[in-house]
A and B are shown apart, each in its own frame.
Chain A
Amino acid sequence: MIPDTRVVPRLVEVRQNVLRQNDVIARALRERFRQAGVLAVSLVSSPGSGKTAFLENVLTLLRPRYQVAALVGDLATENDATRLARSQVPVKQIITGTVCHLEAAMVQSALDGWDLNQLDFLFVENVGNLVCPSSYDLGEDLRFVLLSVTEGEDKPLKYPTIFNSADVAVITKSDLAAAVEFDESAARRNIQAVRPGMNVFKLSSKTGEGMSEFLYFLERRRTHSATIVAT
């Protein structure tokens, strides 16, 4: 009888998260933010939903009372950083090249040279994309998902993963709602279907409608996080 010389593969148990490296950096960032008492907020949405206009508004309104800064991710161009710099706060552009999302390591290296202890709020604008950013933890305290009224009420149902991964939903461009016959109750219902209990804000970066409620929420969250650090 001819002996069987085939090599039988050995099964080795691994049990390792594929994004472990990203998660390790994200956890370290979250701890740095906590120690420094800075509330880190990330923004995700599809391209053109008004992230930059919204952020420009938020930075301008917070600046008189708080130390704020922003990181902004894009595949190419520094246009968004240039726009946000008008709010006169520190802004850094992260150019991802061909990468469709931000990763924790990109945030970490963009923070080089910044003293987080000097900050109250840090905003991180992700690349406009409702798919890829959902898998990557950036160490943020809160993730906001933006949905503009011009995009359609069923966006949450089409992209449930990213809506589920977010903490707060922001409906933008409310000044255009009537013109596009936006069905707000359907949008809210769809958001709640994919993330029950999620806070929802509706606002307009153009007219300022709904902005004060949103800022109140942000300030309260920061006070709340700071209290946790103190105790």
Chain B
Amino acid sequence: MHELSIAVSIVEMAEEQAARHGAVKIQAVHLRLGHLSGVVKEALLSSYEMACESTPLEGSQLLIEEVPVEVFCPKCDQPRLVDSIQWFCCPVCGTPTPTVLHGKELEVVALEMTE
């Protein structure tokens, strides 16, 4: 259960940005979360609420965009979305591939703030 420390990092990052932009309050944090990031969405959402207490983010929303796992298929020479993270192979031709292009994202993309 490392989601709380991740949530604290998100809040700290947002507070830093708020200060830089002269904002007093943050309404929402937009986050990209990959299926291979090792972070569970539900656990992160409940941890986020706790991490926001007594900060300018209190009452704010964490808006999560989930990023599916995309691999590169060497045979098709194409990026492909895997059907399952238990099976790293091309969903079209079945070739196994270890090359992960997307799905490890854990990234704050934008903040909604008021001055």
Contacts and interface: CB of A to CB of B under 8 A. Distances in A.
Contacts of A8: 114
A99 B115 CA distance: 36
Main secondary structure of the interface of A (DSSP, over half): mixed
Given A9-B27, A101-B2, A14 B108 contact: yes
Contacts of A10: 21, 23, 112-115
5 contacts: A12-B23, A12-B111, A15-B109, A16-B108, A132-B1
Interface residues of A, number: 35
B92 interface: no
Given A18-B13, A100-B1, A160-B85, A195 B98 contact: yes
B2 A100 contact: yes
Nearest to A99: B5
Contacts of A196: 88-89, 96-98
Interface in B64-115: 85-89, 96-98, 100, 106-115
A19 interface: yes
B38 A135 contact: yes
B17 to A, nearest CB: 6
Nearest to B31: A18
B36 interface: yes
Given A161-B36, A194-B85, A194-B88, A14 B97 contact: no
Contact of B107 (A7, A15, A99, A165): A15
